[in-house]
Amino acid sequence: MSVTDTIRFRTAVHQNYSNLWRFVRRMGLPRHGADDVAQTAFLIALEALQRIVVGSERAFLYATAVRIVYGLRRRAQRELFGADLDLDPSPCPPPDDLAHQKRVRETFDGLIESIEGDSRMVFVRFEVDGFTIPEIALALEISPTAANCRLRRARKQFRALARDRVNHA
């Protein structure tokens, strides 16, 4: 591996690991599963680094992580059908946990829907999807300064809405 490839890989790890890990967690994997998938995605990227177009490392990592997660889910389905379901604990979370998760999601979605439209797009892409300000600015065809302004405005609205929700609960 050349020095350039080593630097390129280290940069990809530094810039993408935490966002990739959060992305995988949002796909429903537990902490240890997210660690494994993220590390495996980086190992695959390291092996394929010569074939990855410069600047496309992030896209490659996310696509690889999605394929790994889908593979894990398929494997888990096969294992589930082969297990003795009368003796094993249920792999599904208890109904109370599911209801709580649903309430939290609905509350979060309601708060996000209350944020002004232009600011909401920037907020979701930055805070939820893990995009950077330059990526958001490019996608929305606005300046990075405008994207930062909208993000600050959305964060302020989100905090105020969350504070109101807590005070009225």
Q: Encode pLDDT of 104-124 as tens digits.
A: 888 888 888 888 888 888 888
Contact by Cβ (8 Å): 24, 38: yes
CA distances 1 to 6, 26, 49, 51, Å, are 7, 33, 9, 13
Residue type, 51: R
pTM of the model: 0.49
Please tell me the distance from the alpha carbon of residue 8 to that of residue 82, in angstroms, as a whole number.
43
- Model pLDDT for residues 36-48, shown as the tens digit of each residue: 999 999 999 999 9
Q: CATH assignment of 1-91, given 2.20.28, 1.10.1740, 1.10.3470, 3.30.1360? A: 1.10.1740
Q: At a CB cut-off of 8 Å and minimum separation 6, what does 34 contact?
A: 21, 24, 25
Backbone angles phi, psi at 50, to 5 degrees: -65, -30
Per CATH, the number for 93-169 is: 1.10.10.10
